Amino acid sequence: MKTITYSEAIREALTLEMERDDELYIMGEDVGKYGGLFKVTRGLYEKFGSMRVIDSPLSESVIVGAGIGTAISGISSIVEIQFTDLLTCAMDQIVNNAAKFHYISNGLLTVPLVIRAVYGAGVGSGAHHSQSVEGWFAAIPGLKIVMPSTPYDAKGLLISSIRDPNPVLFLEHKRLYFAKGEVPEDSYSIPLGKAAIRREGSDVTIVATGLLVSQCLEAADECSEMNISVEVIDLRSICPLDKETILNSVKKTGRLIIVEEGNLTGGFAGEIAAIVVDEGFDFLDAPIKRVSSSDNPFPSNVEMELYCLPNKQKIIDTVEALIVG
């Protein structure tokens, strides 16, 4: 094990998989000589060359469409979209092509495509570069959506995503890139669709993804000082979703809080709540609560932006309201 950053863990996964598969390539805006907008692909151009680390035109539709084309031809593909907001420019390719080719070909075609994209707010990037849009894509059958929260998971889940024959939307929170953690030097994989219980508890279950997992753990630490025992579940992926882990936890605690950075209205937290009501209503001792971003475009002013986001204190307040009333 060694201690590296989240971005370094992703780079290691890319390097190991490109060494394993000499046809695997990466394409996106500035991923080559520049090393990517967030420097995740730094050094890969020099190692693998311009035919496998490809600087693309300024067109998300072209980037994803080309990735789909090579994927259905049998060549695994990784494409990078600099911000999830810009996935809107490739919506037709993702929703009507990548997600559906396997089905409409009656299983003859697979789409081994990973779409890496940066999501999340909190650094003043404004309304067009700060959104968390995973809930949009969770409604599309045929896509897998992965949201790692640690360097360890980032490496293992990316390797699994690259080896998966289905299209995977691999979402990386921009505020996690410098987070550090222990990561094995060798290649390893983490199954998609298996959540991790980051902290065990008995009074309330909190479910989260990505950056918010660490904030939930910090909130759980403070709640323990008030003799409130919080269980924290890191979903890791929302499609596939590990319903079993969520339901088993709610059965134990009787209470559920779902924390997400997406907007409150239409967010994926609502889907998790619906699943628990449908399949675990008898487990609940209190209403399900959501801690989400407010329903407005993100401002560029950092203080105003942080006001709109979920945070540790909002999580603690929600826990107290459920337990104490």
Which residues are catalytically annotated?
Answer: 129
Look up residue 107 and give its amino acid.
G
Alpha carbon dihedral 240, 118, 266, 157, in 10-degree steps, equals 10
User: For residues 270 and 226, is the Cβ–Cβ distance under 8 A?
Assistant: no
Residue for token pair 């995973």: 134
Residue 93 makes CB contacts below 8 A (sequence gap 6+) with 61, 64, 65, 68
Strands (E), the chain: 2-5, 25-28, 53-55, 77-81, 113-119, 144-146, 168-173, 180-183, 196-199, 204-208, 230-234, 237-239, 256-263, 289-293
Sheet holding 53-55, edge to edge: 53-55, 25-28, 77-81, 113-119, 168-173, 144-146, 237-239
Residue 35 makes CB contacts below 8 A (sequence gap 6+) with 41, 42, 43, 44, 45
1 token code pair: 């094990």
* DSSP state string for 76-126: -EEEEES-GGGGGGGHHIIIIIITTHHHHTTTS----EEEEEEE--SSS--
